[in-house]
Each structure stands twice: as C-alpha cells, then as structure tokens.
Structure 1
Amino acid sequence: MKTINIDSNNITNIFNEMQQDLGGSLKSRPQEYHLILDNDLASGTITGVCFKSHICFMQYDITFKEDTLVINNMPSTNPIHFMYCAKGKIAHSFGNEEKQRVLNQFQTGIFSSDPSKETTLFFKKDEHVKISNIMVTTTEEASTEDNIDKLRNQLLKTFMPKNGEQTFAYTGSYNLKIAEQMHQLEAITQKGLVRHLLTQGIVHLMLAMEIQQHKEDQKNSKNNFGSLTKDEVDNIRELAEFVRNYPEIQYNLKYLSSKSGLSPAKLQEGFKLLYNRTVTDYIRNVRVETAEHMIKTTDLNISEIVYSVGLTSRSYFSKIFKERYNCSPKYYQDNQNTLVATA
C-alpha cells in the first residue's frame, strides 16, 4: 500500500512533496499547481490552488495503480475539509481508526478534528476517482479581514468538534449541482488574475453549497440546490436505460415523471448532469443512434426505420440525422459498403 503524507498547508510544499512521492510532471501558475501522472504508481492529474481567504482547493482526477493512503496532518492550521466525490468512491477516516466513512459518487462529506488527529483518504487500486477537497484554515492567525473572521467563526461553530469530542464527521445526501461547478472549473480558459478570480468564485460557491447541503440535511428536507438522493440517481439511470431499450414509445415528461416517481424538475436536473442533455435531447439522441444502427444492420427502408424509433416525420428525422452524422440517412444507407471499406 502506498502512503502519501501531507503535513503542510503551503501549496508549493504540498505539490513538491507529492511529486517526490508519485513522480510525474509538475506545472505551475501563480498559487496554482497541476501534477500530471502517467506511471506505475498512478495516472491522471492532481490540481491545487490557494487563496488569500485561507482557503485551499485540491482536486484528484486520478487512478492509483495500488491501494493508496493520502494522510493530511496539519496541526498548525487544523483545517476543516469539505469534500465532494464526482466520480468513483473513496473512504475517509481519522488517523488509523478502524471506522471508515465512504463517499459515493455525487456525495458530500465534511470532516474536522483537533490537531492530534490526521485526516486520511483511502483510494482503491485501479478505481478512477474524481474528488474535490476544500480546506478551510480555522486558526486565529489565519484571519486578517472582517469577512474572514465571520467565515471562520461560523465554521468553528458548526463544523469543529464539540462537547469534548476530538472529531467531527458528516456525510451528506447526493448533490449533482456541485459536480456541475467542478465542470465549470475545468472549463476556465482565462489566464492570470482573471483565471484566479474565476476559480476563487467557483470554489467559494462550492463551499457555500456544501454548507447549505449540511444545513438542509440537518432539517431532513430537500435542499435549495436540488440535491438528489442515491435512489433518485439510480431511478434516473434506470429510466435512461428503459428509453434506450424502447425508443419507439411516445414519451413525454408526464409519463416519465409518473414512471420514475420523480418530478419533471428532478428529471431534467438528473439527465443534464448524468448525460449532459435535457430529457428531450437524450430521447432524440437515443433515437438517432438506434436508427443509425438499424441502417447498418437491417434491410428496413428509411421510412420503416423512422417509425421503428418512435418518430413520425421523415423530414425531421433526416434533419437531426444529418446534424449528428453530417450526411442524409439515404446517403448513409446507400453508401454503407463504401463507408465500411474506407473506415
């Protein structure tokens, strides 16, 4: 088992130590680091950035080649860890304690402890994991501005151990909106100060969403950001598979909502973040893909295929087929032998 120790809150030191442990290529911008890995230990990237608000953000988009522990031990700063798992799953514990808390895909977790405890993340061998970890320093010396004092005081009150306890641990319900913010981070193309400010804004928004998630979970109600439970995520996946198996059905939101037991808003949210499409776009895409497969594998004519996939207008089908495959269905069918020969 590979063990990586992080014992500094300095972003430069963190990534220099990680490169020493894991190898790889380290690229940097001011206060932002990217460790790119493709070796016998791991493949993927680890990114990190720190802000003057004494908030550091790290993201692991990585597959370790052996079981790996990442141990955070920062007694001088004692941060609160706000974690989110966007892909795969990880386990967390304090130090070497036997109890592990699993964060599944789309699940949040908040962990803090007194300075004597370490925060340990368990990465399983050959599992592609994508997680974010927002670390908020809570020591007195970290606060330099009134708004930082207010943030620190709120976090201390809510997320630090109380009543003689040494640890605080919370795993939240499932939230797809935070995954969307991670996509926004990856989409930033600007450089310099603009990039830093955009990144800081999104990270602060992710932090706010995790705090809100905890607040609403404590009230045992749906949170304001539309989080989905694991059962709801599973229902959406099952519904998407049903559509793929039966594209000929005349679907509408009312029917799909009734079949899944989810509101139309929940359906739209789930399809957008699981498949990056609206419900309607997903159904249309399934029909086009099914039709393309039928053109290649059956002797049906185009009109028969159109009706077989649940469409009624051949002209509309030709339009969406051409948008997807850059040729008409008839041309595609007539030139199958040529297309196969040149593929």
Structure 2
Amino acid sequence: MKNIYLNAGTLNEVFTEIQTSFNGVLNSNNNEFKLTLNTDLIKGNIDGITFINGITSIQASLTFFDDVTLSIESFSNTSIVFAYCNEGHFRHSYGISGQQFTVQKQHTAIESSNRSVNSILYFKKNNPVQFSIIKVETLSLELNSTNSLLSDLKKTFVNKQPNFTYHSIQNLRIAEKWNQLKAITEQGMVGHILKKDLIQSIVALEIEDNTDPVLKMARGIKRSTLLQVNETKKIYSFIKQYSFDVIYNKVIGSKSRLFSKD
C-alpha cells in the first residue's frame, strides 16, 4: 500500500507537484496542462484546463501498480466538485476514518462541503481507471454575478445545505459531452473556447438534474429500482445457497444411512 499526499492549490501548482513527485513529462500552454506518467508505481495521463470564471476540469487515465491511498488537501469551502468515473472504479471518503463510497463506472459524485478534512481516494492495484473532475470555485460567483449559469449553480448547490454529497448513475447526456470533449482536436484559443462551452454545458445539465422535479422523481425511482434489484440478488443468492445446503445434507444423510446398514 502506497500513501500519496497532494497539496491543494492552483492547477499549475498541482500539476507541477505531481510532475516533480513522479518524474513525469509536463506540457502546458494557455492554462492547459498535459502530464504523462510512467513509473514503477503509476502509468497514464492527466489532462487539465482552467478558465477565468473559476471552473477547472481534470481528466485522468491511470493504472497503479500497487494499492494507493491518495490524500488530497481539503478543498476551499467555497468549491463545488463534480466527479465522474468513466472506466474502472475507486473509493472516496472524507478523512482516513470517514465513511467510504465507491464510485463505479458510469457513476457520478457531487460534493459541496465546508469540511476541513482531506478528501481520500483509494485505488486498487492493476485496476485501470479513468475519471473526470470539474471543480467550481464559488467565490468567483460573487465576482461574476451577471453570469446566470454560475448564479444558478450557487442556488442549486451552495445554498442547499452546508455539506452536500450525492452519488448516482451518470447522466447519459453528460457522458456524451465528455466524449465530445475528448474528441476536440483544435488548438489554441479555438480549442479553449470549445472546451469551455462543453464543460459549462455539463455544469448546466447538473443544475437541471438537481432542480427539475420530473428528473428528480425519475432519478429517485431509478435508485429505488436498483436497490430492489440488489436486494433481489441477495435473496436469490441466499435461496441458492440454502437449496444447495439442503440437497448436500440429504445426500450426506443418505450415504450415512447406506453405510450404517452395512
């Protein structure tokens, strides 16, 4: 088990710290960062981009060659984080002793927290994982009060409750937006604008998902259905094991009686 500690900071500081710690190859231009890692512990790529409206996006495709616990210094209590798992899975908790949640493939997690403890990510050995993160600094919402998207974001998440955490199946439209983001080949200002538009579209879809009453009801039904399916699987497994035990005991009992007659 390897324990890695990552300081919070600007995107440039975070990428530079990872590059230095793992001897990676870092290319940066116009607030965009591309980092390649290839060591005995970790292999893969991390891409990041930050925008002047306080929105940052990170996409990672990594394989760890040992079980890894990544401790990330607590985010500013003015931030909202959206996390998406595209391949594999990982676990998350607040603090090393906090309750752990598994973020699976095609699942999403949202958190808006004033907790002062670190976020802990757990990665399994030889388990390729792809995940994406959008972080919005809500302090910038006050500076961009004319931006309706950021204002709606504040109303939906910041004012909702002091510590908001949500895990669910990923919105298919959001998954498609991430695929479009990966497909962008334009460089420079044109590429930057295209990426910004797509990431803001993802944030808008998250707001819609968490405010539209019909979508919220459908999501609740979906969660309830998944829970029922999981419970049904547990019951089926129990019945299957019980039936096997009954048949096994009958066979053993029959053999015992047969041998006792001899």
Q: Is the structural similarity TM-score above 0.5?
A: yes
2-structure distance, mates of 1:212, 1:65: 39
2-structure distance, mates of 1:13, 1:221: 41
Change (3 A) 1:159 1:180: same
Equivalent residue number for residue 178 of structure 1: 174
Which of 216, 220, 233 matches 1:219?
216
Q: The residue matched to 1:147 in structure 2 has which SS? A: coil
1-structure distance, mates of 2:120, 2:159: 17
Conserved? CA contact 1:174–1:229, under 8 Å: no
Give identity over the alignment, percent: 31
2-structure distance, mates of 1:121, 1:3: 10
1-structure distance, mates of 2:195, 2:225: 29
Equivalent residue number for residue 147 of structure 1: 146
- So what's the TM-score if we normalise by structure 2? 0.75
Conserved? CA contact 1:94–1:117, under 8 Å: yes
1:120 Cα deviation after fit: 2.4
Residue 6, structure 1, aligned to residue 7, structure 2: yes
Letter in 2 for 1:196: H
Equivalent residue number for residue 66 of structure 1: 66
Residue 195, structure 1, aligned to residue 191, structure 2: yes
Change (3 A) 1:218 1:183: closer
1:153 Cα deviation after fit: 4.3
Conserved? CA contact 1:161–1:168, under 8 Å: no
Letter in 2 for 1:169: T
2-structure distance, mates of 1:229, 1:186: 33
1:202 Cα deviation after fit: 1.1
Q: How many residues align?
A: 224
- So what's the TM-score if we normalise by structure 1? 0.58
Query: Which structure 2 segments of 5+ residues have no match?
Result: 227-262
Equivalent residue number for residue 209 of structure 1: 205
Equivalent residue number for residue 252 of structure 2: none
Change (3 A) 1:66 1:160: farther
The structure carrying a bigger strand percent of its residues is 2
Letter in 2 for 1:154: D
Conserved? CA contact 1:81–1:111, under 8 Å: yes
1:105 Cα deviation after fit: 0.8
**CA RMSD of superposed structures (Å):** 2.9
Higher relative contact order (CA 8 A, sep 6+): 2
Change (3 A) 1:219 1:178: closer
Deviation sequence 1:21-65 (CA, Å, 0-9, x none):
222211112100011112112111011110011000011111112
Equivalent residue number for residue 105 of structure 2: 105
Letter in 1 for 2:157: F
2-structure distance, mates of 1:22, 1:215: 42
2-structure distance, mates of 1:16, 1:76: 20
